[in-house]
A and B are shown apart, each in its own frame.
Chain A
Amino acid sequence: MGHSVTVDKVEPKKFELPSNGKVILFAMMGVGLATLLAGFAIDQKRVWHAYLTNYFFFSSLAVGGLFFTAIQHATNAGWSVNIRRVSESMTAFLPVVFIGGLVLLASGSQLYMWLDHDVVANDAILKGKSAYLNLGFWAVRMVLFVGLWLFFAKKIVGHSLAQDQDGDEKWTHKMVPLSIAFLLVFALSYSLFSVDLLMSLDAHWFSTIFGVYCFAGLFQSTLAFMILMTLYCRGKGWVTGLMTTEHTHDLAKFLKGFTVFWAYIAFSQFMLIWYANLPEETIFYLHRSHGGWMEVSMALLVFKFVVPFVALMPRWAKRTPKHLIMVCLLILVMQFVDLYWLVYPNYSHEHATFPLMGVGIFIGFLGLFLFTVTGFLAKHNLVPVRDPRIHESLSHHVTY
């Protein structure tokens, strides 16, 4: 409203990695691979925990990008058209999620006690859960879930790319039912995905809110990554007048909202378990309140909620790139700490150990993730140039 925009002027520049970018990314992947191989030689149990932490971190980002894209289509959103390619690019990592998931199936009882036949045979609780928690069914679920995500990514992102070529409105209409279907599939599959991968690490313990807790971390970190990528493209001057302060501002509002959402869910899980005080449930927090883990738990409260919440409160904070970069990096680091906090007490709840292998593998995964994401962005237009709603996004304006 209020401004008329000629749509045929939309010409984003090409995404380009700096000349040594690919070398750096390959070097990062090399570090990751070296850590992985060295880890297998040193301590298999430990390296599997490090692998799981990072696998979950990056698969959440990949499917998170698809989730963000899907809500935009399902709600017929116009403001986000110009930044949609950024969220779409994150799905380029999904094939790696598929392969990485198959790798995880080989972890055996190094990670999951319910994969150890002797343990299960002598454990009434695990025996009772064995209809769900067994290698065969887990493999089926893993292939099904990631397969479904890949399918929907291919369809939804594919339609968007096809529209770049022919500018046909039909793609926009087609993406709506697809996105709604994906959101339903996502709610169920991602919940069970997190139950399979993280909650079943301690297969005696259960929490019905666990899937939502993982989702909160997923969306918080997805938005943080999207803001960083958007700011990078803006800083390079590739998308002047296309991705603007207004888009970043709204993404930052989104980020602040889901920072509160994460705290809300984390506290909901904690308070009910604390109040009811049932030993089979409190064991989770007991393991995370001794031997250095209490400090990690408190760090989560302070740096994943309090600091970002206050730091994102003023209007200027959401419109100042330098400030936003700091907050987003903090949130991404804390998302890693969150997963470390979920995974590592199962490795050792006696004392918190610095996840040296985790960091090494993180560098590798990050290299691979950025390689696929930037590869996608370099191959396609940085903005869905022929989306019928692009005028809404071009004149997007955040009122104060």
Chain B
Amino acid sequence: MAKRQSGVAGIWSDDEKILEAAAKMRDAGYKKFDAITPFPVHGMEEAVGIKRSGIPYVTFVAGVTGCCLGLYMQYWMSAVSWPINVGGKPMFSIPAFIPVTFEITILFAALFSVGAMFFLNGLPKVDPPIIDPDLTSHKFALWVPDDEVGYSVEKVEAFLKELGAEEVKRMAEY
């Protein structure tokens, strides 16, 4: 479970403006801040400076592993542990094993992707205090946690106001 942190949130009611503010914040050297929006805002990843996630690599490795394990499992079951002659075909008949191999590849890739997503996002994060209930409908926030580079409450508050935040909130924990 992700650790609770204190921090400062700036709130906007326009997605265009928060996009600009986020880009300025990134350019000012902020690294760990995040944007909280009720819907995906295009271009936000670049504006906040979020790097590409590592999930694709997890998916790939898990998929290859699943593929090998799936094929090996069927080889062991049908040709080693309990050989059964099916229609006079060889015990280890690859075409017959492809569908199961495919499914196990997908199963591994999917489960590990979701697992990696949870891990990288710091989920599950149960019941965090609410910054503003409107963040799930029509408002947008930039959240600066206390481990931000060169963090001080006053400095961040002043900067958020300078960026045009309509409201700035201190949070003891989020």
Contacts and interface: CB of A to CB of B under 8 A. Distances in A.
B43 A3 contact: yes
B129 interface: no
B52 A397 contact: no
Nearest to B60: A313
Interface string B57-97: 00010000000000000000000000000010000000110
B51 to A, nearest CB: 9
Nearest to A268: B99
A206 interface: no
Question: Among the interface residues B15, B43, B52, B53, which one has the most CB atoms of the partner chain A within 10 A?
Answer: B43
Interface string A75-106: 00000000000000000000000000000000
Interface of B is mostly: helix
B95 A395 contact: no
Interface stretch (A177-185, A234-242, A269-277): A269-277
A19 interface: no
A3 B95 CA distance: 50
Interface in A386-400: 395, 397, 399-400
A274 B89 CA distance: 10
Contacts of A2: 15-16, 19, 41-44
Contact of A397 (B15, B42, B53): B42
Nearest to A396: B42
A74 to B, nearest CB: 25
B45 interface: yes
A315 interface: yes
Given A1-B15, A271-B95, A399 B52 contact: no
A205 interface: no
Contacts of A267: 95, 98
Given A1-B15, A400-B52, A275 B42 contact: no
B133 interface: no
B22 to A, nearest CB: 11
A399 B42 contact: yes
Contacts of B60: 313
A288 to B, nearest CB: 15
Contacts of A270: 95
B41 A1 contact: yes
A3 B43 CA distance: 9
A271 B94 CA distance: 10
A275 B41 CA distance: 50
B150 interface: no
Contacts of A3: 42-43
B29 interface: no
A4 B52 CA distance: 25
A141 B15 CA distance: 55
B128 interface: no
Contacts of A313: 60
Interface in A257-313: 267, 270-271, 274-275, 277, 313
Report which residue of B42, B60, B96, B99 has the largest number of chain A beta carbons within 10 angstroms of its beta carbon.
B42
Contacts of B124: none
Interface in A302-354: 313, 315
Contact of B42 (A271, A277, A315, A395): A395
Contacts of B45: 399-400
A204 B42 CA distance: 56
Contact of B95 (A275, A315, A397): A275
Nearest to B99: A271
Contacts of B16: 2, 4
Given A395-B42, A399-B45, A400-B45, A275 B19 contact: no
Interface in A1-15: 1-4
7 contacts: A3-B43, A267-B95, A271-B96, A274-B95, A275-B87, A397-B43, A399-B42
Instruction: Rank and list the top 5 A-B pairs by shortest CB-CB distance, nearest first.
Output: A2-B42, A1-B42, A400-B52, A2-B43, A397-B42
